Chain A
Amino acid sequence: MAIVKTERHPELPPPASQTGVVGWLRENLFSNWLSTFLTVISIYVVWQAMSTLINYAIIDATFVGTTREDCTGAGACWVFIKARFGQNMYGFYPEAERWRINVGYVLGAIGLFLVLSDYIKNKKWPAIYLFVIYPVVCYFLFYGGFGLEKVETSQWGGLFLTLVLASVSIFVALPLGIVLALGRRSDMPVVRMVCVGFIELIRGVPLITVLFMASVMLPLFLPEGQNFDKLVRALVGMSLFSAAYMAEVVRGGLQAIPKGQMEAAKSLGLGYWQSMGLIILPQALKISIPSIVNTFIGLFKDTTLVLIIGLLDLLSVIKAGTTDKNWLGMATEGYLFVAAVFWVFCFGMSRYSIWLENKLHTGHKR
C-alpha cells in the first residue's frame, strides 16, 4: 500500500529570498541584526560624506574665472588650480620652452609602453632605448644643449620636478640596490659589513635627516669651490635612501631562489658574475618586481619631502600658492588637488603591481 511516486517531481525555482537582488541584499547587507545595524549606519555615513564632498567639489564649486573674486559659490574654488596650472605642472620653467618637457613625457611614455607591453617579445632594444638613450636625451632636452636654451634647475618645478626626482632616484637606486643586496649576501666579511652598515644606517633614520645631510653636509664633504646644485644634492639623498630599501627588496628575491640554482650554475663552470647575471638575478628580480613597484610607490610619495629642503615640487608650488596674498584661504582646494594627483599615480601603480603579481604568479595558485 506504499504510495510511490513514479515520475520525477518538477524542479521548483530557488526561494526568492536567496537569489537575485533580494538574495544578494540579504546575504551581504542584512544577514543578521548586527549586519543590518551596521548597514544602516554605513549608508548614513556614506550618504553624508558623499553629499558633502560632491556639493563641495562639484555642485557648489566654481570652475570658471581667473581671480579669487570669481569664486562666489560656497564650494571649492578650482579657479585657484586652473589659474596657476602652468606653474603647478612645470614650475618656473620658461613658458616658451615647456614643449620640451611635453616631448620628454611623450618619449618616456613610448619607452615605457614598449618595455612593459606584452605584444613585444624581444625587449632588448626597448630596454636600451628607455634606460640608456632616453635619459641622455632627457638631460639635454630638459637642461639644454645642442642649440636648446639652457634652463637652470632652480627653474624646474611642479609635477615635472616630482617626476624627475622619482624617475632619476629609481634609475640610480635599482642598480645600486642590486649591488648592495649582492654585497650583503657575499661571503667576504668586509664587503658584507660595509653593505649591512650602509643599509641599516639608512633604513634606521628618516628620509628628512638624509636629505638634510645631503643638503647641509655634502658641501662640507667636497673640496672647496665644487658646489652641487640643490636638485643634484636632493637626488643624491633620495637615491641613497631608496637604494637601501631596494637592497632589502632584492635580497628578499635572492633568498627565495633555491641554492640548487647557484650550484647548478657553478657546476656548469660559470663564474660568480656569470651565474648571478645569467641564472640567479633574472629569477630573483622577476619575483621581486611587485615589491620593487611598491618601493617605487613609496619613493614617489616621498619625493614630496623635498619641500622641506626648499625645492619646488608639486606640493611646494601649491603650498607657495596658498600663501600668495591674492589666493588666501585656498589650502583645502590646493591640498585636495595634490592628493588627487598623487592618488591617481600611486593607485595606478599599485593596481599594476597587483596585476603583475597575478600574472607572474604561475604555479601554486588555488
Chain B
Amino acid sequence: MSVDATAQQQGAGVSLLRDPKVRAVFFQVLVIVLFAAFVFYVGNNTIVNLEKRGIASGFGFLSQPAGFGIGIVVFMDYVAQTSTHGDVLIIGVINTLTVSLSGIILATILGFFFGVLRLSKNWIVNKIATVYIEVIRNVPLLVQLLFWYFAVLSVLPVVRDSIKIGDNLIINNRGVYFPSIIPESGFAIIPVAFVIGIIASIFMSKWAHKRQDETGQQFPVFFASVGLILGLPIIAALISGLPFGFEYPKASRFNIGGGWVLEPEFLALLIGLSIYTGAFIAEIVRSGINAVSHGQTEAAHSLGIRPNITMRLVILPQALRVIVPPLTSQYLNLTKNSSLATAIGYPEITAIFAGTSLNQTGQAIEIIAMTMAFYLSISLLISMFMNWYNKRIALVER
C-alpha cells in the first residue's frame, strides 16, 4: 500500500503536481492548516461565549463547596455544605471503580459459567444458555438497568414490611442490609495474615513447579493455596481472640440503622452490568474453546488424560489466548457502561461530576475534559494490564 512505489517514476518531464511526495507534503500541510483553523475557530467562539455567560475558565471551581448531597459515599466523609467539587470528583471516581471492579468479577464468573453451559452436550442446558445469551445481548443495557431498578428493586417492600432472612439479612426498597464487622484493637493482624497467605502461596506454587520439573512429583497447589489464603487469617483471628465484633442492622419503624447496606442503585447497576456483560463474555468463551482444534482433545484422550484434566491443562490454556483480547474490550465496555448509572442515580463520576457539578458550576469544558481523561486513563490501564497478561500466556514458538 506504499505510495513510494511510484517514486521511481519521477524523472524529467513529470510535473511537480504529479509527484506523489510533493502531493503528500502538500496534503498534510493542508490538513494541519485546516485543523489549526478549526481549533482557532472553535477556541475563539468558546472564549467569546464564555465571556458572554460570565464563566471564568480554570480549575478554581474544584475547591468551591459543592452544596448538594450524595447518596452513596464510601471511604471518605462528605458534607454537602463544606465538601468541594474536588471531593465530588473523588467520590465519583471511587464509586465508578467500585462498581466496575465488582461488575468485572461477577461478569467473568457468569460469562465463563454460561459459556461452558453453552458448550454442554446436554440439549436443555445448552438451550438455556443460548436463550440467556440471545435475550440479554439484544436488549439495550439502559432498558435492563431501568428494569432492575424500577421494576424489581423499587417494588420491594417498604421498611416496615422488610423481608427478613434469618435475623441479620434485611431486604427492603432501601437496599440489602447485613451485619457489619467492627474492628477492635489487634484487628490489623487479620489483613496482615491474609497478605502473608497470598505471598506464601505464590512462593509455594513456584516451589511446587520447580519440584515437579525436577522430580516429577505433583503437589496440590490449588487446595494448599486456598488453605493458606483462608486458613492463615482464620488462625490469626482465633489466636488473637477474635478481635472484632458485629453490628447488626436494626429495623425501627421507618428506618434501619447499623450494619452495612447495598443500596438499590448500586445493586441495580451491578446486576445489570454483570448480566449484560456476562452474556457477551459467554459468547467469547464459547468461541475461544471452539477455536481449539478438536485434534488437541483427541490427542489428550489418546494419551489417557481424563476429560476434566484435558479441559484444564490442554484446552483452556490454548483457549485463553483467543479469549483474552476480546475479554479485555468487554472489561473496558463494562467500565464505560457504568456511566449509564446516571439514569438510575448511582453517584458515579458521570452522574455527579459531569452531571450535577457541571450544572452547578457551568464549567463544561473542564469537567467534560476531566471526565473523558479519567475514562481514557482507565482504558489505557486495563489494556496495558491485559496486554501484559496476554504476552505472558501467548504462544511461545520455537
Q: Mark B110-141, 1 if CB is under 8 A from A, else 0.
A: 00000000001111110010000011011111
**Majority DSSP secondary structure for residues of A touching B:** helix
Given A262-B1, A272-B3, A331-B151, answer yes or no on A42-B125 (Cβ-Cβ < 8 Å).
yes
The distance in angstroms between the C-alpha atoms of A219 and B52, with both chains bound, is 13
Q: Chain B residues with Cβ under 8 A from A208's Cβ?
A: 339-340, 342, 350, 354
Q: State how many angstroms separate the Cβ of A47 from the closest Cβ of chain B.
A: 11
Q: Chain A residues with Cβ under 8 A from B380's Cβ?
A: 204
> Are B24 and A322 closer than 8 Å at their CB atoms?
no
The distance in angstroms between the C-alpha atoms of A204 and B371, with both chains bound, is 11
> Are B143 and A221 closer than 8 Å at their CB atoms?
no
Which of B128, B139, B144, B155 has its CB near the most chain A CB atoms (within 10 A)? B139
Q: State how many angstroms separate the Cβ of A314 from the closest Cβ of chain B.
A: 9
CB-contact partner of B146 in A206, A266, A335, under 8 A: A335
A224 at the interface (CB under 8 A from B): yes
Q: State how many angstroms separate the Cβ of A169 from the closest Cβ of chain B.
A: 15
The distance in angstroms between the C-alpha atoms of A39 and B372, with both chains bound, is 48
Q: State how many angstroms separate the Cβ of A361 from the closest Cβ of chain B.
A: 15
Q: Chain A residues with Cβ under 8 A from B364's Cβ?
A: 216-217, 220
> Are A297 and B371 closer than 8 Å at their CB atoms?
no
B385 at the interface (CB under 8 A from A): no
> Are A220 and B49 closer than 8 Å at their CB atoms?
yes
Q: State how many angstroms separate the Cβ of B340 from the closest Cβ of chain A.
A: 7
> Are A209 and B144 closer than 8 Å at their CB atoms?
no
B5 at the interface (CB under 8 A from A): yes
The distance in angstroms between the C-alpha atoms of A223 and B41, with both chains bound, is 9
Given A187-B1, A217-B364, A221-B42, answer yes or no on A342-B52 (Cβ-Cβ < 8 Å).
no
Q: State how many angstroms separate the Cβ of A319 from the closest Cβ of chain B.
A: 7
Q: Chain B residues with Cβ under 8 A from A185's Cβ?
A: 1
Q: State how many angstroms separate the Cβ of B302 from the closest Cβ of chain A.
A: 21
> Are A191 and B143 closer than 8 Å at their CB atoms?
no
> Are B375 and A29 closer than 8 Å at their CB atoms?
no
> Are B365 and A220 closer than 8 Å at their CB atoms?
yes
Q: State how many angstroms separate the Cβ of A208 from the closest Cβ of chain B.
A: 5
Residue of B nearest to A338 (CB): B143
Tally of A interface residues using CB under 8 Å: 63
Given A187-B3, A205-B376, A331-B154, answer yes or no on A346-B138 (Cβ-Cβ < 8 Å).
yes
Q: Chain B residues with Cβ under 8 A from A259's Cβ?
A: 1
Given A194-B35, A304-B143, answer yes or no on A29-B123 (Cβ-Cβ < 8 Å).
yes
B384 at the interface (CB under 8 A from A): no
Q: State how many angstroms separate the Cβ of B283 from the closest Cβ of chain A.
A: 11
> Are A315 and B368 closer than 8 Å at their CB atoms?
no
B78 at the interface (CB under 8 A from A): no
Q: Chain B residues with Cβ under 8 A from A217's Cβ?
A: 364-365, 368
Using a CB-CB cutoff of 8 Å, which residues 16-32 of chain B contact chain A? 24, 27-28, 31-32
> Are A29 and B122 closer than 8 Å at their CB atoms?
yes
B2 at the interface (CB under 8 A from A): yes
Using a CB-CB cutoff of 8 Å, which residues 200-226 of chain A contact chain B? 201, 203-209, 212-213, 216-217, 219-224
> Are A39 and B45 closer than 8 Å at their CB atoms?
no
B142 at the interface (CB under 8 A from A): yes
Q: Mark B317-347, 1 if CB is under 8 A from A, else 0.
A: 0000000000000000000110110110000
A356 at the interface (CB under 8 A from B): no
The distance in angstroms between the C-alpha atoms of A266 and B2, with both chains bound, is 10
A302 at the interface (CB under 8 A from B): yes
Q: State how many angstroms separate the Cβ of A125 from the closest Cβ of chain B.
A: 33
> Are B139 and A224 closer than 8 Å at their CB atoms?
no
CB-contact partner of B121 in A35, A203, A209, A272, under 8 A: A35
Interface residues on B, range: 35 or more
A168 at the interface (CB under 8 A from B): no
Q: Mark A222-254, 1 if CB is under 8 A from B, else 0.
A: 111000000000000000000000000000000
Residue of A nearest to B1 (CB): A262
Residue of B nearest to A276 (CB): B1
Q: Chain A residues with Cβ under 8 A from B168's Cβ?
A: none
A46 at the interface (CB under 8 A from B): yes
The distance in angstroms between the C-alpha atoms of A208 and B380, with both chains bound, is 19
CB-contact partner of A224 in B49, B135, B343, under 8 A: B49
Q: Chain B residues with Cβ under 8 A from A35's Cβ?
A: 121-122
> Are A331 and B1 closer than 8 Å at their CB atoms?
no
> Are B3 and A28 closer than 8 Å at their CB atoms?
no
Q: State how many angstroms separate the Cβ of B205 from the closest Cβ of chain A.
A: 30
CB-contact partner of A209 in B124, B134, B138, B375, under 8 A: B375
A332 at the interface (CB under 8 A from B): yes
Closest 9 CB pairs of A and B: A346-B138, A28-B123, A206-B336, A301-B140, A331-B150, A206-B339, A190-B28, A335-B147, A332-B151
- Which residues of B are interface residues toward A (Cβ below 8 A)? 1-6, 24, 27-28, 31-32, 35, 42, 45-46, 48-50, 52, 120-125, 128, 134-135, 137-144, 146-147, 150-151, 154-155, 336-337, 339-340, 342-343, 350, 354, 358, 364-365, 368, 371-372, 375-376, 379-380
Q: List 29 A-B contacts (CB under 8 A).
A: A28-B122, A29-B124, A31-B122, A38-B122, A39-B125, A42-B124, A46-B128, A204-B380, A205-B375, A206-B336, A208-B354, A212-B350, A213-B368, A216-B364, A220-B49, A220-B364, A221-B42, A259-B1, A263-B5, A266-B5, A305-B340, A308-B340, A308-B342, A315-B146, A331-B146, A331-B147, A335-B150, A339-B143, A342-B139
With contacts A29-B122, A221-B46 known, what are 4 further pairs, Cβ within 8 A?
A: A266-B5, A301-B138, A331-B150, A347-B138
